[in-house]
Amino acid sequence: MRIRLLAVGQKMPDWVTEGYQEYAKRLQDDVRLELVEIPAAKRGRNHEVELWKRQEAEALQAAIHPSDRIVALDVLGKPWSTEDLRDRTAQWLQGGQNIALLVGGPDGLDPELIRMASERWSLSALTLPHPLVRIVVAEQIYRAWTLLKGHPYHR
């Protein structure tokens, strides 16, 4: 199974890239985590938030494969415990479907993307910086996978 983290934003600091890669590389053959960086909409002085979100949504939609199960990371989504994520990962593996995890830009996800999603996942009620979200998601996917495999990482 392939889990693709489709995230708006490019040119992250080295600590973000290294943190993400540390967990992504630990995953084995049955679960792979891939990062797809989507350019953020060019923002000007006019506060055209809906236009920017729509532009980012179009780029995200272009990166979603037709057979992907879409999960939107959204503050209004449902919080999942590590065990919830483990159970979802097991279901995703059994279903044989690849997963597209969507992370919006500074203004969030366009409502159309949220409607397209099968699930909405909230990492926290806190507003997290988007670079940090990449690392948190990678670590939690790895943690869920280790639980499935009986690995001692999760103690």
93 is in an annotated binding site: no
Compute the C-alpha angle 9/10/13, nearest 5°: 110
Contacts of 85 (CB under 8 A, 6+ apart): 140, 141, 143, 144
123 is in an annotated binding site: yes
124 is in an annotated binding site: yes
Beta bridge partners of 38: 8
Q: Cα-flanking dihedrals φ and ψ of residue 2, to 5°? A: -115, 130
5 is in an annotated binding site: no
126 is in an annotated binding site: yes
27 is in an annotated binding site: no
Q: Which helix (H) or strand (E) holds 32?
A: strand 32-38
132 is in an annotated binding site: no
Residue 26: which of 114, 130, 140 has the closest Cα?
140
35 is in an annotated binding site: no
Residue positions in the annotated binding site for S-adenosyl-L-methionine? 73, 104, 123-128
Residue positions in the annotated binding site? 73, 104, 123-128
